[in-house]
Copies of this chain bind each other. A is one copy, B any other.
Amino acid sequence: MKIRVFVSLREGVLDPQGKAVGHALDSLGFKGLGDVRISRVIDIEAPQGTTEAEGLKLGEAMAKRLLANEVIEDYRVETSA
């Protein structure tokens, strides 16, 4: 089972990395683009025999503890077989 944690900056929080990518794309000739936002996806192979419910709970715990900075980031957890 795979646990997937999406981590993205909250609305309204400045994304300096996204800004840099946006400027780079513009200078490469991609004109007229709007906002650019960058998120992370962390895929984790769960321990053998983990159920879906356990996987979601484990993902939540890992996100809160390490993977997401809840002051400026939101996260979402998914599982897949």
Chain A interface, number of residues (Cβ within 8 angstroms): 33
| Docked CA distance A58–B18 (Å) | 17
Please determine whether B46 and A21 come into contact, CB atoms closer than 8 angstroms: no
A21 to B39, CA, bound (A): 16
Docked-complex contact B33 and A45, CB < 8 angstroms: yes
Q: Mark A33-48, 1 if CB is under 8 A from B, else 0.
A: 1111111111111111
CB pair A40–B42 under 8 Å, yes or no, is no
Inter-subunit contact B45/A36 (CB<8 Å): yes
A60 CB, nearest partner CB in chain B, Å:
12
Indicate whether A72 reaches chain B with its CB closer than 8 angstroms.
no
Q: Contact check, A34 vs B44: say whether CB atoms are below 8 A apart.
A: yes
